[in-house]
Protein backbone atom coordinates (compact mmCIF):
# COMPACT_ATOMS: atom_id res chain seq x y z
CA UNK A 1 0.00 0.00 0.00
CA UNK A 2 1.29 3.46 -0.92
CA UNK A 3 -0.14 6.19 1.28
CA UNK A 4 0.05 9.97 1.57
CA UNK A 5 -0.36 9.40 5.31
CA UNK A 6 2.23 8.19 7.77
CA UNK A 7 3.10 4.50 7.81
CA UNK A 8 2.29 4.25 11.52
CA UNK A 9 -1.17 5.80 11.15
CA UNK A 10 -1.98 3.64 8.13
CA UNK A 11 -0.85 0.45 9.89
CA UNK A 12 -2.98 1.42 12.91
CA UNK A 13 -6.03 1.88 10.66
CA UNK A 14 -5.42 -1.48 8.99
CA UNK A 15 -5.09 -3.16 12.39
CA UNK A 16 -8.23 -1.49 13.75
CA UNK A 17 -10.21 -2.68 10.74
CA UNK A 18 -8.77 -6.20 10.82
CA UNK A 19 -7.18 -5.80 7.40
CA UNK A 20 -3.50 -5.84 8.36
CA UNK A 21 -3.05 -9.41 7.09
CA UNK A 22 -4.33 -8.34 3.64
CA UNK A 23 -1.55 -5.79 3.11
CA UNK A 24 2.02 -7.03 2.76
CA UNK A 25 3.74 -3.66 3.11
CA UNK A 26 2.84 -0.02 3.80
CA UNK A 27 4.91 2.59 2.00
CA UNK A 28 4.57 6.26 2.86
CA UNK A 29 5.39 9.44 0.98
CA UNK A 30 7.31 10.50 4.11
CA UNK A 31 10.43 8.86 2.68
CA UNK A 32 10.47 11.21 -0.33
CA UNK A 33 8.81 14.29 1.20
CA UNK A 34 6.43 14.64 -1.78
CA UNK A 35 2.73 13.84 -1.85
CA UNK A 36 1.08 11.82 -4.53
CA UNK A 37 0.34 12.48 -7.39
CA UNK A 38 3.93 13.75 -7.82
CA UNK A 39 6.10 11.09 -9.50
CA UNK A 40 8.54 10.68 -6.57
CA UNK A 41 6.25 8.56 -4.32
CA UNK A 42 5.48 6.11 -7.13
CA UNK A 43 9.17 5.85 -8.05
CA UNK A 44 10.00 5.29 -4.39
CA UNK A 45 7.46 2.44 -4.27
CA UNK A 46 9.04 0.89 -7.36
CA UNK A 47 12.48 1.13 -5.76
CA UNK A 48 11.19 -0.49 -2.58
CA UNK A 49 9.58 -3.29 -4.59
CA UNK A 50 12.69 -3.69 -6.72
CA UNK A 51 10.50 -3.65 -9.79
CA UNK A 52 10.05 -1.81 -13.05
CA UNK A 53 6.97 0.39 -13.59
CA UNK A 54 5.82 -1.83 -16.48
CA UNK A 55 5.38 -4.70 -14.02
CA UNK A 56 3.44 -2.91 -11.29
CA UNK A 57 -0.18 -1.82 -11.04
CA UNK A 58 -1.66 0.75 -8.71
CA UNK A 59 -5.37 0.42 -7.94
CA UNK A 60 -7.12 3.36 -6.31
CA UNK A 61 -10.50 5.00 -5.79
CA UNK A 62 -9.02 8.46 -6.33
CA UNK A 63 -8.71 9.52 -9.97
CA UNK A 64 -5.85 11.91 -9.15
CA UNK A 65 -3.88 8.97 -7.70
CA UNK A 66 -4.48 6.86 -10.82
CA UNK A 67 -3.41 9.82 -12.97
CA UNK A 68 -0.18 10.26 -10.99
CA UNK A 69 0.67 6.56 -11.16
CA UNK A 70 -0.03 6.48 -14.88
CA UNK A 71 2.24 9.47 -15.42
CA UNK A 72 4.95 7.59 -13.50
CA UNK A 73 4.58 4.68 -15.93
CA UNK A 74 2.59 2.22 -13.81
CA UNK A 75 -0.35 0.17 -15.01
CA UNK A 76 -3.45 1.56 -13.32
CA UNK A 77 -6.84 0.44 -12.12
CA UNK A 78 -9.62 2.69 -10.90
CA UNK A 79 -12.54 1.67 -8.73
CA UNK A 80 -15.53 3.98 -9.20
CA UNK A 81 -17.16 3.37 -5.80
CA UNK A 82 -15.99 6.70 -4.35
CA UNK A 83 -16.10 9.21 -7.21
CA UNK A 84 -18.67 7.68 -9.54
CA UNK A 85 -17.22 9.11 -12.76
CA UNK A 86 -13.66 9.44 -13.99
CA UNK A 87 -12.69 13.06 -14.86
CA UNK A 88 -11.63 13.49 -18.49
CA UNK A 89 -8.82 15.88 -17.46
CA UNK A 90 -6.81 12.94 -16.06
CA UNK A 91 -5.01 10.18 -17.95
CA UNK A 92 -7.45 7.25 -18.08
CA UNK A 93 -6.90 4.05 -16.10
CA UNK A 94 -5.91 0.82 -17.84
CA UNK A 95 -8.84 -0.93 -16.15
CA UNK A 96 -11.83 0.31 -14.20
CA UNK A 97 -14.95 -0.99 -12.53
CA UNK A 98 -17.40 -0.52 -9.68
CA UNK A 99 -15.41 -2.67 -7.23
CA UNK A 100 -12.02 -4.25 -6.64
CA UNK A 101 -13.03 -7.58 -8.18
CA UNK A 102 -14.05 -5.91 -11.46
CA UNK A 103 -10.87 -3.82 -11.56
CA UNK A 104 -8.63 -6.83 -10.83
CA UNK A 105 -10.43 -8.82 -13.53
CA UNK A 106 -9.83 -5.98 -15.99
CA UNK A 107 -6.16 -5.76 -15.06
CA UNK A 108 -5.70 -9.51 -15.47
CA UNK A 109 -7.27 -9.28 -18.94
CA UNK A 110 -4.62 -6.80 -20.12
CA UNK A 111 -1.86 -8.04 -22.45
CA UNK A 112 0.65 -10.27 -20.67
CA UNK A 113 2.74 -8.51 -18.04
CA UNK A 114 3.75 -9.74 -14.63
CA UNK A 115 1.84 -7.14 -12.64
CA UNK A 116 2.63 -6.89 -8.92
CA UNK A 117 0.25 -5.23 -6.48
CA UNK A 118 1.27 -2.07 -4.61
For 24-47, the pLDDT digits (tens) are 999 999 999 999 999 999 999 999
Q: What is the reported pLDDT for 75?
A: 96
Q: What is the reported pLDDT for 106?
A: 97
Average pLDDT over residues 59-88: 96
Average pLDDT over residues 55-63: 96
Collect all residues with Cβ–Cβ distance below 8 Å to 102 and sequence separation of at least 6: 79, 96
Confidence of residue 113 (pLDDT cuts 50, 70, 90): low
The CATH code for residues 2-117 is: 3.40.50.1000
Long-range Cβ contacts of 29-35 (<8 Å, 24+ apart): 29/2, 29/3, 29/4, 30/6, 35/4
What's the mean per-residue pLDDT of the chain?
93
Average pLDDT over residues 92-99: 97
Q: What is the reported pLDDT for 84?
A: 86
Is the pLDDT reported for residue 99 higher than 70? yes
Whole-model pTM: value is 0.88
Confidence of residue 105 (pLDDT cuts 50, 70, 90): very high
Amino acid sequence: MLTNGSSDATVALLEASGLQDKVERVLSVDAVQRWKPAPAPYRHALDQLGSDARNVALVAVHSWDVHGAHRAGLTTGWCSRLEGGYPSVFDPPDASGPDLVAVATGLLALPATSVQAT
